[in-house]
Every structure is written in C-alpha cells, then in structure tokens.
Chain A
Amino acid sequence: MKFTISPAPHIKSQQTTKKIMLSVFLALLPSALWGVYKFGVHSGYVILTSVLSCVFFEFVSQKFIFKTKVKITDGSAALTGLLMAYCLSPDIALWQVCIGSFFAIFIAKECFGGIGFNIFNPALVGRAVLLSSFPTIMTKWQIDGVTSATPLGILKEKLAEQLPSYADLFVGNIPGSIGEVSKILLLLGAIFLFYRRIISWHIPLTFVLTVMVFSVLFRQDPVFQILSGGVVLGAFFMATDYVTSPLFLKGKIILGFGCGLLTVLIRNLGAYPEGVCYAILIMNILVPLIDKFTKPKFFGTSLGSKFF
C-alpha cells in the first residue's frame, strides 16, 4: 500500500496569490464600468490595452529576457494593468498606454526580480512615467465628452468654475482619471476586500484621516479633499499593495500617515493639483527602512507587547 509523505502542516488555507489578485480585480471592476459609461468607449479601450499589454510584457520578459518560469496566470500583471489604466486620462492614446505598461511591468517589476521583489508600485510607476512624458494629454480632462477641469484643478488654478457638490463627487459626476472618480463603487469594492480579509484598515484609515486633518490645517474642506482626486483609489487599492507596503502593523500606520501627509503637501505646496501618486511612490522607497524600525517584539521578549 502506498502512502503520501509530506511535512506538516498537512492542511492549508484555500487562499492563494491568484485568488487574492482575482478578488482585487473583481473589487475594482465596477469602477471601470462607470468610467467607460462616463468618459466614453475609448476609455474602455485604454483599460483593455493596459491590461493586455501588461500581461504581454510580463510574458515576454519572463519567457525571453529573464528566462524564468512564466507566471502570468497569477494575475498580478493583469491587476497592475487595470490599476494603471485607472489613473490615466480617458483620452490617452493607446500606444502611450503601452509605453506606460512597459515601464510598469518590465522596468519597475521584472527588472527588480518579478512579483514580490518590486520596490515601487508598478502601476504608479507607469502613471508617473506617462505624466512626465505626455503632460498635456495626461492632464486633459473631460466628462461626457465635454472638456473641463478636475475639482482639484479648479482649486489649484483658482478657476472661476463652480465646484461640484459632494453628491457629484461621491457618485463620480466629475472629470478625472478613468477609475478614480466613482468613490461609491470604489468603496463598495474596498468593503468586499475587507470582508475577504485581503486588506486591513491600517493603511487606508490612517491615509484618509491624515489627509483630512492636514487639509484642515491648509484651510481646505477635508471632505472635499478626500472625495476628489485619487485619495480613495490610492488609499484602498494602491497603498495597500502587499509588496510595496510594510510587513508590520505599526509600519502600515506609518505608511498611511506618510502618504496622507505627502498628498496634502503636494496638493497645497507642489506644482501639481494632485499628489497621491507621488506620495505613495515616495513612501514605497521608505518601506524597507520602516520595516527595519518597526520589527515587532517577539513573544516573551517584552512585557508590554499587547498594544497591537
């Protein structure tokens, strides 16, 4: 009689990397549909191009350049593509999207060692490259086919236009990047991820609260500040990226705080109206340092380790 031999533990949870990626993908999808509905069918092509080109670049770099196992089925490249498309202007050309994907997947992810080893959030690297390469198209906004400024743009440039109401901000009746406008759909997706225990409250909550508190210091309306721009998308879906966020709870709170603070500083003191992307990228650099200084006390090595 033959028996299987293996080391303990002999039972494992059902959760896998692939299922996590799929869950985040699903949580984000409703917002994509809203983007296509609001900004036209071209934004649908942008999303599709972004996802497919990211998977393509991942395949090419794993198969032909680094000659490692092809792991496109884990879904991480597709998720990067979706997230990158979410922070692009709806009118961007498809070839430009491909350049973004190349930087996101090949430069920011695969060159650093592939999944789990990238220092920066790949999707945000892609967006940052596109923003500095094609600043005009990346800051051209429209809604229902009519060119207009984003709420944060109106504030920054002190334009004469009427600021949108909270309801419009919440539902997404505003110009902006393809996936960031509908807060309600993004929050629904985030609730799904909380429910599945894929993200924890630490990063999103500190991020959002920090933005609110510091916005008040700059005499801005805190609710308006979190409902406009990419704070919700960034706090719940970008900053919580496992690979580029700290391992320990204390570190997660530091990351959330840092992201929030930098966002407010860039919005109020920087050249750009929006700062979420750069805030997260800057905090990404600090993650190894944060991890080093927030290493938890091991069991039985301190008396007061009950705080977290």
Chain B
Amino acid sequence: MNNFRGGIHPPQSKYTSQIQTEEIPLPKKAVVPLSQHTGSPSKPVVSVGDLVKTGQLIAAATGFISANLHSPVSGKVSAIESRLHPCGYNFDSIIIDSDDKDETVEFKKNDPEKLFPNEIIEIIKNAGIVGLGGAAFPTHVKLSPPKEKKIDSVILNGCECEPYLTCDHRVILEETEKVVGGLKLIMKVLDVKTGFIAIEDNKEDVISLFSNLPKLENDIKIIKLKTKYPQGAEKQLIKAVLKREVPSGKLPMDVGCVVQNIQTAKAIYEAVYEGKPLYERVITIAGFVKRPGNLKVRIGTLLSEIIDYCGGFVEDLPGRKIIAGGPMMGITQFTLDVPVVKGFSGLVILTEKESKSYEPSNCIRCGKCVDVCPMYLIPTVISRLIEKARYEELKNYNPLDCMECGCCAYECPAKIHLVQNIKLAKTLIQQKKI
C-alpha cells in the first residue's frame, strides 16, 4: 500500500464519522475577519450601517494572493472593528447582525462545458475560495501555476489524518457528486488527465462507495492509503500517491502536482455550477460536548453559538481545552467569542485525561523523533541548539522544512517541547535574527 516514511499512529478517536451532517440555525451575528487566508487581508467594500444579503461581496481581495469575502447572512453591518481570530491574534473584522431572513443575492449558474479554464479560475477567485483543509491558501493562485511548470496530476486530499475530525469524510460520503465534479473542474482548469482521490484505509465506507459507483471515469482513481498521521500533509501525500519528493523549499507544482482538499473541490463545484460563493463549510464538533457531530455552519458563526447548538459542554471536567482544529496541530482557544473562519475544520473539546501535560526531562537520545519525522529532520538536535542558544548551527538542520505536524513531540518519552523549540528556530530564522 502507498505510504511515506515516518509518521505516527495516535488513537483515531473518529467517533463522529457515522453522524449525518446537520445544518445549524442561522447565527444571530456573524463576525467575518478580513484575514482568513494566506496572503494580504481583504479590503471592506461595505460600510457600517449597510444592508447586505447572503453571498454579497463584503470585502475584496487586495493583490494576487488574497481572497474575496462574502456575507454569510443577510442583515446589517453593525461594525468593522478588531476582533479575536481563532489563531489567537486580533484582526479587523466585519460584524453583521443577521435579520434571520437569509435573503441571498442572485447566484449566476454556469454551464462549465461552455467555460474556458481562465473563466473557471475567475469564478473561483470571485467566489473567495481558499484551501479548506486548514492552511487557507487562495485556490485560484494554486490553480494558476506559471507556464513553465507542467502539471500532470491532481490529488484530492481526503485523508483527514487528524484524530477526531470527520467533516471531510462526511462531505465525500454525502456529496460525492459535487466532490467528483469539483475535481473534474480542477482537472479541466489545469488541463490534467489524471486525478486521484486519496483516502485513508480507515474510511472503508468511502472506498466501497467508490467501488460500487456505476463506473468512475477512467481518469479518476481512488488511492487507498495507510491510516497514519500526517498522511494528509501535502508533501507526504504526494510522496505516498505519486512517489515524488517535493524538493526542500519548493512547492507541489515543482513536481507537476496540485493537491486540493475535499471541501475545496465541493466549494469549486458549487461556485461554478450554482454560482454560490464560499460562505459556509462543514466542521466537526467532537469530544466533550453533549451532542457531538458534523455541522454545516456559516463562516463567522461564533463558537459559543455552536457549543450551545451541541447542547453545551459535558459538565465538570477538569482542565478543559477547546481546540480549533485537530488535537495534533489545532490551536487552543481561551474564549468562545471567536468566529469560524474558512480554514476552520473542527472544534475538539478535550479534558485533562486525554490532553495531559507533562514536565519535560532530559533527552535520552532514543531517536524516536528522528524515526517519526515525516520531513526526516532531527528534532532533538534542533531543540537542543535552541535551548543552548547555538543559533548559528541551526542552518545545518533545515528547521524551515518543519511543518509543525507534532509527531516528534507526540512520541518523545522525555516530553520535550520539541515543536515549540523548532517553531522558535523558524521564527528566529524568518526574522533574520540569526
């Protein structure tokens, strides 16, 4: 079976994988940060007091690597002010009070047969679609590689290797047609003949669903991958599916490949066929809430409303952690007054029992971090160089290649804060302080 070297096997904890996606009621208030994507923040095109409809453009992309934002609800813009973003920083956000009518702007349906690739890219760009796997890189940029980079394969990433999260799993099960349709659009845009849908072998239902489909077009292949974290990491996925290694510091397009998330493909389908911009997504709520599940939510919905919808927390659990994203790479939240953004894949609530904190001790050189690092780095050495402030030696150990997947820190028996130390190394190098 296709695989990559390194990685770990944390408990999968995918308890919500068999729960049907539900659409939650409209939020009373939507908080839409202007920076929900990699690249420059969008610029508001509405002012306080304006009435907006669902799907109306409220902030426009500034520059090539940026994305449009659309109103997730209909109502009145009540403020444009600095608000907390799930990443932990404050960003300027547009706040819209919902009138609860959900009046939409008119969506312009398209016939993709009649569209040229550049027109499809334009639709994707206007719809504000970004990578919905977490990094939120603007999709139109990924789909516009420079002329000299010849793309020959598209991989749809359905691995969802983070424990607990099941939203992509549900989307591909429930909206198979849209996902496959989105993949075909991506292939058309890039003029690619082979598309792959990569699925970890723990999602048996998806694999059997595809094998039972009447006849998938010859050009789309289902690739069954070993269940392992981080199977869904872009470079590891390309290595597993195509046996190609993306060179250090380069992008997938340098090895002729583009990777897109399941939900991104679905969003592309909806943007092109239905004319619907990106203003909602499916997220997983897992862990210690009364009713965990997979929810279709509007971008900008506050976490407090989602937790209320799920029946609230299971009471009286010590050391409660609210994690935006999965438990391996997610960010803990200190308040529920934070909105769902485009790259928000789930909310995991853990207690002290699952998320124990340990005091770090000396490295015993067991080499586990080296064995599991999917980038073949040497976490323990980078960490020690940081601790001993031997910064000038760091460049020999490529800390910038680290994707912060957390495998090393997960495995470390001495519970050293490896990822934190490597993040520090990366920051120091990026700020040119070394």
Cβ of A15 and Cβ of B413 under 8 Å apart? Answer: yes
Cβ of B248 and Cβ of A301 under 8 Å apart? Answer: yes
Contact string against B for A residues 59-71, beta-carbon threshold 8 Å, 1 for contact and 0 otherwise: 0000000000001
Cβ of B380 and Cβ of A3 under 8 Å apart? Answer: no
| Chain A contact residues, majority secondary structure | loop
Cβ of A12 and Cβ of B245 under 8 Å apart? Answer: no
Cβ of A247 and Cβ of B380 under 8 Å apart? Answer: yes
If A116-B364, A300-B245, A300-B250 touch, does A12 touch B328 (CB 8 Å cutoff)? no
With a cutoff of 8 Å between Cβ atoms, the chain A residues found around residue B413 in the complex are 13, 15-17, 19-20
With a cutoff of 8 Å between Cβ atoms, the chain A residues found around residue B8 in the complex are 13
Give the total of B residues in contact with A, Cβ under 8 Å.
67
- CB of A271 within 8 Å of the partner chain: no
With a cutoff of 8 Å between Cβ atoms, the chain B residues found around residue A7 in the complex are 332, 417, 419-420, 423
For window 1-39 of A, CB contacts with B under 8 Å fall at 1-13, 15-17, 19-20
The chain A residue sitting closest to B11, CB to CB, is A11
With a cutoff of 8 Å between Cβ atoms, the chain B residues found around residue A295 in the complex are 378
With a cutoff of 8 Å between Cβ atoms, the chain A residues found around residue B319 in the complex are 4
Cβ of B361 and Cβ of A74 under 8 Å apart? Answer: yes
With a cutoff of 8 Å between Cβ atoms, the chain A residues found around residue B10 in the complex are 11, 13
Cβ of A11 and Cβ of B163 under 8 Å apart? Answer: yes
- CB of A117 within 8 Å of the partner chain: yes
**Nearest Cβ in chain B — how far from A1, in angstroms?**
8
**Nearest Cβ in chain A — how far from B4, in angstroms?**
9
**Nearest Cβ in chain A — how far from B395, in angstroms?**
12
If A3-B333, A301-B248 touch, does A8 touch B404 (CB 8 Å cutoff)? yes
With a cutoff of 8 Å between Cβ atoms, the chain A residues found around residue B415 in the complex are 12, 16
- CB of B150 within 8 Å of the partner chain: no
- CB of B374 within 8 Å of the partner chain: yes
With a cutoff of 8 Å between Cβ atoms, the chain B residues found around residue A300 in the complex are 235, 245-250, 375, 401
- CB of B168 within 8 Å of the partner chain: no
With a cutoff of 8 Å between Cβ atoms, the chain A residues found around residue B248 in the complex are 298-301
Give the total of A residues in contact with B, Cβ under 8 Å.
40
With the chains together, A245 CA to B249 CA distance in Å?
32
Cβ of A247 and Cβ of B327 under 8 Å apart? Answer: no
- CB of A160 within 8 Å of the partner chain: no
With a cutoff of 8 Å between Cβ atoms, the chain B residues found around residue A117 in the complex are 362
- CB of B376 within 8 Å of the partner chain: yes
Cβ of B320 and Cβ of A242 under 8 Å apart? Answer: no
Cβ of B354 and Cβ of A11 under 8 Å apart? Answer: yes
Contact string against B for A residues 126-147, beta-carbon threshold 8 Å, 1 for contact and 0 otherwise: 0000000000000000000000
Cβ of A3 and Cβ of B321 under 8 Å apart? Answer: yes
- CB of B295 within 8 Å of the partner chain: no
- CB of B212 within 8 Å of the partner chain: no
The chain A residue sitting closest to B249, CB to CB, is A300
Cβ of B363 and Cβ of A299 under 8 Å apart? Answer: no
With a cutoff of 8 Å between Cβ atoms, the chain A residues found around residue B116 in the complex are none
Cβ of B330 and Cβ of A10 under 8 Å apart? Answer: yes
With a cutoff of 8 Å between Cβ atoms, the chain A residues found around residue B332 in the complex are 3-7, 10
For window 193-211 of B, CB contacts with A under 8 Å fall at none
The chain A residue sitting closest to B248, CB to CB, is A300
With a cutoff of 8 Å between Cβ atoms, the chain A residues found around residue B84 in the complex are none
- CB of B141 within 8 Å of the partner chain: no
Cβ of B364 and Cβ of A296 under 8 Å apart? Answer: no
**Nearest Cβ in chain B — how far from A13, in angstroms?**
5
With a cutoff of 8 Å between Cβ atoms, the chain A residues found around residue B380 in the complex are 247
If A17-B364, A71-B361 touch, does A3 touch B377 (CB 8 Å cutoff)? no
The chain B residue sitting closest to A199, CB to CB, is B366
With a cutoff of 8 Å between Cβ atoms, the chain A residues found around residue B327 in the complex are 8-11
Cβ of A20 and Cβ of B366 under 8 Å apart? Answer: yes
Contact string against B for A residues 102-144, beta-carbon threshold 8 Å, 1 for contact and 0 otherwise: 0000000000001111000000000000000000000000000
- CB of A305 within 8 Å of the partner chain: yes
Contact string against A for B residues 335-376, beta-carbon threshold 8 Å, 1 for contact and 0 otherwise: 110000000000010101011111001111111101000111
**Nearest Cβ in chain A — how far from B264, in angstroms?**
23
With a cutoff of 8 Å between Cβ atoms, the chain B residues found around residue A13 in the complex are 8, 10, 410-411, 413
The chain A residue sitting closest to B373, CB to CB, is A299
Binding site for B on A (CB under 8 A): 1-13, 15-17, 19-20, 71, 74, 76, 114-117, 242-243, 245, 247-248, 295-301, 303, 305-306
Can you name 11 A-B pairs with beta carbons within 8 Å?
A3-B333, A3-B334, A4-B352, A6-B357, A10-B350, A16-B358, A16-B413, A17-B413, A248-B370, A298-B376, A303-B245
Given contacts A7-B419, A12-B415, A116-B365, 13 further A-B contacts (CB under 8 A): A4-B332, A8-B328, A12-B409, A17-B414, A20-B413, A74-B361, A247-B370, A296-B378, A300-B245, A300-B250, A301-B247, A301-B398, A305-B376
User: A-B pairs with the 5 shortest C-beta distances?
Assistant: A9-B406, A116-B362, A300-B248, A299-B375, A10-B327
